[in-house]
Every structure is written in C-alpha cells, then in structure tokens.
C-alpha cells in the first residue's frame, strides 16, 4: 500500500523532471475543458470541475499506486452526479462524495483492490456503454441549440422533450459543435501528442465570440468562474442524511474503485509497469474526501488523461502533480477567458468523449462473446439507460457472479445426511 511516488523519487533525475513537467502541462490543457464540460453535464457549476481536477488530481498522484495515473472528474460519474444533485441537492452530492471516500479508504485497508478481478468485464462494458448513451443524449440540446425548459432526467422523456423542441434548432450552435468535433478528430490524427481538445474548443469559441453568434457560453449561463480554491470545510450531515445518501455513496465508491484500477491497468500495459492496487484504492478514497472538503465532485483515475500523460512522456507521479498545479494556475490567471467558451463546443467535446467511452473498436468482438456474457452486458446497458445505475450495477454484478459460479467445475461434495 506504499504510494508509488516514494519508490520513484529514490532514483529521480533532472531529465525525468523535465519530461514529467512537459507531460503534466500537456495533460492539464486536456483536463481543463473536459473538467468544465463534465461538471456542466453533471448539473453542477463548471468551477466545481476545476476544483475536483486540482484537489483530487493532486492527491491521486501523491498517494496513488500507479506511476502515471491522472485523477479527476470523469464521464462515468455524470449520471450518478446528475441524479444525486437532482434528488439531494449539491450539498447532498458533496456529503455522498465524502462518504464514498471513507468507504474507499476502508476498502483499501481491507485490501479490497484485489477483488477487481471478480467484477465481470461484461458488466463494466455494459454500464460504460449505457453511461456513454446517457451523456450523448444529454448534450443534444446544447449541440443543436435547442430551447428546452426543464429537460427530464428519464431517458425516453428526455428524447420526447428534445424532439418537441426541434423547431428551436439553432444552425450556428450546430455549426460550432460540429466544427469542434471535426477539429478534435483532425488534431488527434495529425498531432496525437498535441493538446488538441483545448485548441479545438478555444478556436471555435473564439470564432463564435468574434462573429457575435447567438450561442450560449459558460459566462452567459453560469456567470464568472472562481479564480481561487475555496476554504476547505466539512460537509454538514446528520444520521438521516447519511442513511439517505448511502446508496449514492456506495455507487460512487464502486465506480471510483473500478475505473481507477482499470485505468491503472491500461497504463501498465502502455508502460510495462506494475501498479499497486490497494494503494490506488486508498488514494481514491483520500482524493474523494479532499475533493468534497473543497466542495468538489467525485473523482477517479481518468483513462483518457492517463493515456495522454503516457504519450506525452510522463514517467512518475510528479507529472500528475504538475498537471494539478497547472490547472490551479490557469484558474487563478485565466478564469475570465473560460467564460467565453461556447456551450455547443463543450457539447461536441462531450459527444466525442461519450463515443470513445463506448469503445466502438470492441463492438465487433462482442458478437463472439458467450451468449450469457452478451446477455449480461445488454441487461446492464439497458438498466443503466432506462432505470438507474445503482440497479444496473447491483443486478449486473449479481448475475455475473451467478454465471461465474455456474461455470465452476466443482466435484460433488462427499457428504451424507446425518442421522437424527
């Protein structure tokens, strides 16, 4: 459970620091627009996304079990956060995040990180695709510039409301969103190591401002972003409030644990490293507690940002610390500029994020899965979209464990009924 940074600092060098610094700054430029967009899609103030990226990102790198893991708000939490804010208010989300942090610390101390192998891959794929579908549909309003009053949270009601608002379609908004997506894809192919996300969003937002196009911006919808971190404070709680938020806290803890360990595994495949599972779970616990103390959102290891870190040359957790410090400096010095970012541009960014989350390169392989695994994935996907993520995870994991037990080749027990 020893943090990886203590191991890497023993042989740290100036060239490694330079490499980590460049990688950390590169990842920060990717994380800033993503953090803003994820917070907005979650129904939170966009500044909360930056606070989460700074505080949680710093703690994940400082205490985590991976050399290159980057922590912060991720798309996987959008559904949970949106539901928690709608049902319990933002203060309820903060308390649920704090509770999730405590659950993760307890899980790390009990070495529960080793249980990752028991979560069926079909369940992970199912709720990930389901979350991607929900994220994509939630961004259609901003992408098309639709005017929708009180967009419903329920999936089919949301589609009906969006279709009913089709006459409010704004061509300028759609052009900005589409141009953003095209630029992101082009920059990824032309210069994969270049922070194309912030460039694409910045260029299209600047075009909207210079041409005075009638599209919403962060500033026009949410006001000014914070230019400094708030003072930390404990969330208010009561016994009844804790009991009420316990299901949300467990879902946040489950998602944070699973996604961070999956991200660390992906990073190990890219670097040939060996992450420490229980140290990573502990770090996620402290990161979520830290984020909640500053009024932030749930956080976990971010696969896309971690991969960006590796591709940019990140060698040690110092890169993640530099990433957090860079976002802090950007918030302090350039917060007013972020207010000009166009909402359709951020919607385009999140639509591509949802597409990547669904891992389309795997779709063909799903057809060759065992029928039971395919059914498990589809059940989890459908429940995630039309019911609730808590139900989807509970049902999916339960069915997955039942399928695993059914496949075990265990000989009959040598047992006879005792004499009474």
Place of tokens 């040939």: 272
Asked if residue 280 is part of any domain, the answer here is yes
> Could you read off the pLDDT of 38-83 as tens digits, one per residue?
999 888 999 999 999 999 999 999 999 999 999 999 888 888 898 8
Instruction: Give dist(CA 129, CA 77) in Å, integer.
Output: 13
Asked if residue 299 is part of any domain, the answer here is yes
The structure tokens listed for 278 are 């229980």
Asked if residue 102 is part of any domain, the answer here is yes
Q: Domain containing 278: what range?
A: 4-226+236-353
pLDDT for position 409: 57
Query: Buried b / exposed e across 201-237, counting CB within 10 Å, b at 16+?
Result: bbebbebbeeeebebbbbbeebeebbeebeeeeebee
Asked if residue 393 is part of any domain, the answer here is no
Instruction: Give dist(CA 8, CA 252) in Å, integer.
Output: 30
The answer for residues whose C-beta is within 8 angstroms of residue 368's C-beta and 6 or more apart is none
pLDDT for position 117: 61
Asked if residue 392 is part of any domain, the answer here is no
Asked if residue 380 is part of any domain, the answer here is no
Asked if residue 10 is part of any domain, the answer here is yes
Q: What is the pLDDT along the chain (420 residues), one digit of tens a residue?
A: 789 999 998 899 999 999 999 999 999 988 999 899 999 988 899 999 999 999 999 999 999 999 999 999 988 888 889 889 988 999 999 999 999 999 999 999 998 877 766 778 888 888 889 888 988 898 899 999 998 887 777 888 889 999 999 999 999 999 999 999 999 999 989 988 777 888 999 999 999 999 999 999 999 988 888 889 999 999 888 899 999 999 999 999 998 998 888 888 878 878 888 889 899 999 999 999 999 999 999 999 988 888 888 888 899 999 999 999 999 999 999 888 888 999 999 999 989 988 988 889 889 999 888 898 899 999 999 998 888 777 888 888 888 888 877 776 545 444 443 443
Asked if residue 49 is part of any domain, the answer here is yes
CB 301 within 8 A of CB 284: yes
Count of domains for the chain: 1
């Amino acid at each position: 459970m020893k943090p990886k940074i203590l191991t890497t600092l023993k042989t740290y060098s100036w060239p490694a620091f330079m490499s980590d610094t460049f990688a950390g700054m590169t990842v920060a430029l990717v994380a800033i627009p993503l953090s803003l967009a994820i917070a907005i899609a979650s129904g939170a103030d966009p500044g909360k996304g930056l606070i989460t990226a700074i505080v949680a990102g710093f703690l994940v790198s400082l205490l985590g079990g991976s050399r290159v893991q980057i922590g912060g708000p991720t798309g996987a939490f959008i559904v949970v956060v949106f539901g928690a804010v709608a049902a319990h208010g933002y203060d309820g989300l903060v308390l649920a995040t704090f509770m999730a942090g405590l659950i993760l610390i307890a899980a790390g101390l009990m070495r529960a990180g080793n249980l990752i192998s028991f979560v069926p891959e079909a369940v992970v794929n199912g709720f990930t695709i389901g979350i991607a579908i929900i994220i994509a549909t939630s961004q259609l309003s901003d992408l098309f510039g639709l005017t929708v009053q009180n967009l419903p949270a329920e999936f089919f009601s949301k589609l009906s409301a969006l279709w009913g608002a089709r006459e409010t379609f704004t061509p300028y908004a759609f052009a900005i969103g589409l141009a953003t997506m095209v630029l992101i894809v082009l920059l990824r192919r032309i210069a994969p190591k270049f922070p194309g996300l912030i460039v694409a969003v910045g260029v299209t937002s600047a075009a909207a401002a210079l041409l005075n196009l009638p599209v919403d911006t962060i500033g026009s919808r949410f006001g000014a972003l914070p230019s400094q971190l708030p003072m930390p404070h404990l969330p208010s709680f009561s016994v009844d409030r804790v009991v009420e938020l316990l299901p949300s806290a467990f879902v946040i803890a489950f998602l944070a644990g699973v996604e961070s360990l999956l991200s660390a595994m992906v990073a190990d495949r890219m670097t040939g490293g060996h992450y420490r599972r229980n140290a990573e779970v502990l770090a996620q616990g402290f990161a979520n507690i830290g984020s909640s103390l500053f009024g932030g959102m749930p956080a976990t290891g971010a696969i896309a940002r971690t991969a960006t870190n590796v591709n940019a040359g990140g060698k040690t957790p110092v890169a993640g610390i530099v990433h957090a410090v860079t976002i802090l400096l950007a918030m302090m010095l350039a917060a007013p500029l972020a207010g000009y970012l166009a909402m359709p541009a951020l919607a385009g960014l999140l639509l591509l994020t949802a597409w990547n989350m669904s891992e389309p390169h795997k779709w063909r392989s799903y057809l060759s899965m065992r029928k039971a695994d395919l059914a498990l994935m589809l059940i989890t996907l459908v429940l995630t979209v039309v019911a609730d993520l808590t139900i989807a995870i509970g049902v999916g994991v339960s069915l997955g464990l039942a399928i695993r037990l059914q496949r075990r080749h265990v000989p009959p027990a040598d047992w006879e009924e005792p004499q009474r």
